[in-house]
Structure 1
Amino acid sequence: MRPDVAIKATSPRGGGIDIATLPSPAAWVDANGIVEARNAAMADFFNVESGRPFSDVLRPEDVGAFDLALKRLTLGAPSASVEIQATGDRKASFVTSLAKPQSDDASQVILLQLIDITSLRQSFDALAERESRWNHALVGSASGVWDQRNSGEMYYSEVWRSIRGLGPDDPIAQNMEEWLELVHPQDRERVLHSIERQNEGDPDYTTFQYREMHKDGHYVWIECRGACVERDENGQPARIVGTDTDVTARKAQEEWLEGLSRRLKLAVDISRIGIFETDFDAGISEWDERMREIFEVPFDEDVRVGDFWERKLHPDDRERTLAHVEMRIAALKPFTDNYRITASNGSTRYIRANSLPYVDNDGHLKMIGVNWDVTEDQRLRQELECQKALAEARNAELDQIRIDAEYSALHDYLTALPNRRYLESRLDELRKTSSERKRGIAVLHIDLDRFKQINDTLGHGAGDAMLKHAARILRDNIRPTDFAARIGGDEFVVLLDYDGNDEVLSTIADRIIGEMRQPVWHNGQECRFGASIGIAYSEDRSADPRALLQNADIALYNAKNQGRNRHEFYTQSSRRLLADARRLSSELLRALENDEIIPFYQLQFDAKTRKITGAECLARWQHPTQGILGPDRFLAAAEECGVLAQIDGIILEKALADVAVWREEGLLLPKISVNVSARRLKDPNLASGLAALDIKPGTVSFELLESVFLDRQDAAVMANLETLRRLSIDIEIDDFGTGHASIVGLLNLKPSTLKIDRQLIENIPTSQEQRILVMSIIQIARSLKIKVTAEGVETEEHARILKRLGCDVLQGYGLARPLDVTATGDLLRAHKKAAAT
């Protein structure tokens, strides 16, 4: 101890306190902090000279706090303290205690005493550091801390609240019951059990997962980690501390991976592929169950590289396969291979493999891949190739048949010109390729004049010859790029490229008309006929060819009205024909509303006995100003308006009513036949409508008009025809022999009767060919157990020949004309009276 320290240790103003005896650093300072005396301990820690401010030995950051403590004493405080740290190399912390001694001396002497708190400060800083470190770790791990005591005190961190979507002021469940309401119903029982085991200290339940309701209304997956850290005197949990972590995303990923794993397993099981992984450096290969099945490897046998697989390879494939695999492995590129192996029974199996060579993290050369047995696929492929070869051979034979069939389907059998179907196909092509045409298009609609007279006077043979002659004229007068077709009867259509020159069209039309008017000799008879032509054209390449065809038809109508043997161009004035058609359609609709459609009856007779066997019911229009109109005046309009089926229904209902009246009078009409249109046959309500009528079995038959194509019926038509059979309504084919009905149609339809068209009956007295044709039809019908009715019986000679040929029923003007209900009733009475005498 230095002498000056000892001399100044006792101050006469210090109330008798000797600081030299104090073990801790001490000093006397005045109100300004000037050191008056100090002890040895103070000198050891703070080398401050007497007469100097004590603040000289303080760190700058501690001076302010020290001065503030002095100020408090001077203002009357009995004591004050401040924490300071030693300067220089010494790492020590002190609490500076300042106090006024009890003394009679009024001077401001202050006792300054230092208490060493270095170890306490170090412990406190270490604790704060650990607390900060754990707090950052918890926040960084997104774990929410919770602390529960049995006293009811609870703590929940901000992260804990954010996991549940709660803010600092949002209330939380106050008891177990409230909290369990937020837990997913499927998890509650398990959660209670887990908490119980966790409180008991069971290490298996330190962590468990459950779902809890988020503030927004959805569930979040929470991983709870907790433990009992304090117990009371009874051993019961007194404090439980833990963390909650939101693992919703992880659970979703786990679920996705689990689903992916299931799908992959299912795919592997279904595909029956074998999976392998080979470690070339270790010399071993891992094969799954299916791989061992394919290669017949026992499940307890190790698969070594260069041993079993190589030996199983088919001798013819071994060298190629091994070389291919070695090359691909060297390049570390994925590859596919096909090879054969030899089974234990000596059979050959076909294998397909996909493989991927790679180098793993340890530098080992490995390969992973799949193999599957494609032996059955190979067998099927070989069989298919064989069948393909046979099919190609058969196709070579069928090609010509197909070409011939297509030709027949698209060409007129008589003239070899394209038919209506071909024309419609050509029109569709023109419309689809309208943007590609470099020219306009013209349509010539041609109708032969006086053709019917040739047919009537010279027979169908002469008519056929004239049609062939007309076809030759058309071929000779059009270019190879033009198109000519026979669309039915004596009608033809020619499609030509149009370059804007009307005179060219007129020249072609006049040349055709001129050649058609030249006399033609047939079997020594001179035949003369002509032609009327309607022309429509368009320079617009996008014009609708079908519309042009309709316009040409209107122009043809004008040509015929203006004297025939001429051509007319379509003009806008021709549209009045359409206006007339629309007017007729309007009047027809009004006629249906006014009940102006009535039935006429043409009686039918047994070919042998001439007894009445029935009657065909024909539609007539009782026009208020024009009188009785035949179907030729309104059927086209009816079909266009879509009321043809309605007219069919009206005729049937009225005919049934008339037959019922005649039956009450004792007049027997065994059967009535009514026409049925294609539209009505497709009506889904036909069956229900017929079921509501009083139709006695076997008294009604439906005649399928020639517009019904019998060879290709849709499902609705066939269903309705089956309904007719169930209702005992017979099915008759009308106009048989005109080309619409066929033998295939007869087999499919199974009608009760077919009616030979009048065109085939007309010339049987004079034409041997016609008689042979009619006889053939009757024989075909008999072989199929189908009755035959002949239409167009105009003379007694017709009736006699048809009876001899085996016809069953006769119908025609030579026997009875179509009559209204009153005249038909009179005729029935006359026949009844004649039969009674």
Structure 2
Amino acid sequence: MAKPFGSTSIAVREAEPEPFYRQLFARSGFGFAALDAEGRIIDANASLLRAFGVASFADLPPFTDCVSSKDRPAIAFAMRPHLAEQAPWEVRLLRADGSEFWVLASFIEPPALPGEALSPAMIVQTIDVDERKRNALELAERESRWNHALESAGQGVWDHDFARGDLFYSRQWRTIRGLRPDDPIDTSLDTWIQTVHPDDRAHVLAEIAKQESGEASFNVFSYRERHKDGHWIWIESRGAVVEYGPDGKPSRIAGTDTDITEHKEAEERLAQMSRRLELALDISRIGVFEINLKTSDVRWDDRMIGIYGLDGDPDSETWERALHPEDRLKATMTVADGIFRGQDFVNEFRIIRGDGEIRHVRGRAAPYVDLTGVPRLIGANWDVTGDVRLQEELKRAKDLAEARNDELEAARARIEYTALHDHLTGLPNRRYLDATIQAAAKAAQETGSRLAVLHIDLDRFKEINDTLGHLAGDQMLVHAAGLLNALKGPDDFVARIGGDEFVFLSTGSGGRNLATLAEAIVDAMRKPVTFNGHICRFGASVGIASLSGAAIDAKQLLVNADLALYRAKNRGRSRHEFFTSDFQAQIIVNKQTADEILSGIEQRRFLPYYQPQFCARTLDIVGVETLARWDHPTRGILAPDAFLKIAEDLDCVATIDRIVLEQSLADFARWEAQGLGIAKISANVSSKRLHDPELAHSLRTLDIRPKSLSFELLESIFLDDCDRTVLENLAEMRRLGIDIEIDDFGTGHASIVSLMKLSPRRLKIDRQLVKPVSRSPGQRKLVATIVEIGRSLNIEVVAEGVETPAHVAIMRDLGCDILQGYALARPMPADAIPDFVQRQEWRSQAGTVRDLQNEVRRAIIR
């Protein structure tokens, strides 16, 4: 192998003259390589080595391997001996890193020179054309893409190079006109202009003159040209000057032609449609509007402006300002809803025109999004005032005719209805009931079926009337009527017979479960009702009587149901009772008892009994509770169970309370004088007493020492719904130094909210909660919770029903302040109190501390 250029030592080089080709390599700026007969590189100059990125030709493979695989066939052909002297070849050479670069490669067979031992078989000269070649390829690619884009867009390209006399027309340009690629084209203006529509020729010539004179460097115009098959096509021509001559005039103009026939035909169809629409809108006087929902810009046509009576252009608020105030909310909500749902909608409203005239307008609109993505609303309005007025006139005429025809019938029906119905509730009245029950009784006699009467009376209705007024009472009656109607079956009849009394008539041979029906009535009536922010609670008592077959007597049924109702009210109200044969005897007894109560009040036979109360820690007596008793002439001392309900019916409970209270204060004064150490007395006060406007005045007439008297709120007094009278009475009690106690706490008679609002001095745990504490851990926890509530609110806790020593110990350990019950003392008359206090017998009865603890322990273990 020949030695590389530049590697021979100086001594050798002086002995052996340097080959000629090396002198050529050293002096040339091109790349040179010397190849042996097998194509191996035996020498290379620095330019070639730099192009390949190597330091020595020894790092290069055979020359054919230095050529890209894409060009190797061409190189193998070019290196043949008889072709070596041909023109240079454009090939891609391959670097060691795989990158390629373009060169012009020339192959030379050097002659053998005398005196040169090293003579290569072939010399390769390379010229770097990589950048130029890549630019040319990129330009060709761009031109190809552009041509493809124009072709796919249906645009024909033309190029008029006047300087060279070269006129070019693309294939698509020919296709637009129906020409084949090889069809000849007469490019003279005179010939071509004849293919242009006569109406467009002058226009086309003028536009061409603008371009050729340089007046317009870029020009766009449309015209009609005859297709090869004879029909006219619309062409849009776009041309631009791309080169100018030395005289400053255009020397080359290029552009595109586009077939816009379909577009023009669509425009014509649209124009025709627009003309028809415009004519229709003119005839129908329909105004059109459009709103840009993004910018609120509005556009109204002249008809819209005329409908609204405007002088100038509308703005975004014109429509809403014109709306009649009564229609504004509905109309604007209709528009907002249609836009939100993205659906077309119809709107009807009145407007007040600029001249003040009120007109009726109907509209239809639809939201849409235009091609630029802007949301818009388009619609139409038309004046329908004439139609509306005509419809109103027709309706008035029709209504008048119907009113006149129905007037006599309506008057007769109103008179009959008024005569047979209650004006407040709309239920049948007593007259209607009498007629109905007679007919029902006759039908039941004939069929042998059962006829039942339920006489219903509302409980505590008078309290609602007295405290909240007759308007509240009327509302409760209407509510009760609605409940009864809801429970009425197809064969039933409901009537209001006066005041707060109703009759429910149940007919039919199938019958109904009367007890279930009555319970449903009672349950429905006891549910609370709200009136003006007040919770109204009432109930119902029901008396039931029923007969069947020939024995039915309508009037007697009503009497029997009334007797059953009386018994239901005497037995506690909010319940039902069936008529039985012993009713009359019971009525006689109740009437006798009522007379005796009134006589007892006159004779002051109602007196106080006292049950002592004890400190839970020391068992010292701290007070007494006053209990009403009746000293009956023949039956002895009677508890309130024997007379209270009848006394309530007589409305004389407040009188009895006053008699007992006055006597209690006198007894208390006597005990103080005797030094018995009884710190206070407590007395019951009823709900009706609290609602008495004269209570405060009555209390001020009594000699009451502050903190010596407590009032226990006995009944279900709804302190969350107190009226003004109750609040004033409670305030007066506090001013007089009378303490307030809550009785029966824990059974639903009082609530935590009531405690916080009322702030009583004491609360009494009901005996029902105290009794099980000795055997029930859960009950002890409940009582402990109540005690904790009292302690947190700074309220003393009194335990009622303390009946065993175990109760004494447990309630003391749970933290109760005061104990009361049979384990310590039973109720007794006033004369027995001094002796009881002095003997202190309750201490021994309560047991020793150890006995108490053992009993509690046994009770818990059990």
Instruction: Please indicate, yes or no, whether the TM-score normalized by the shorter chain is above 0.5.
Output: no
TM-score (norm 2): 0.39
TM-score (norm 1): 0.40
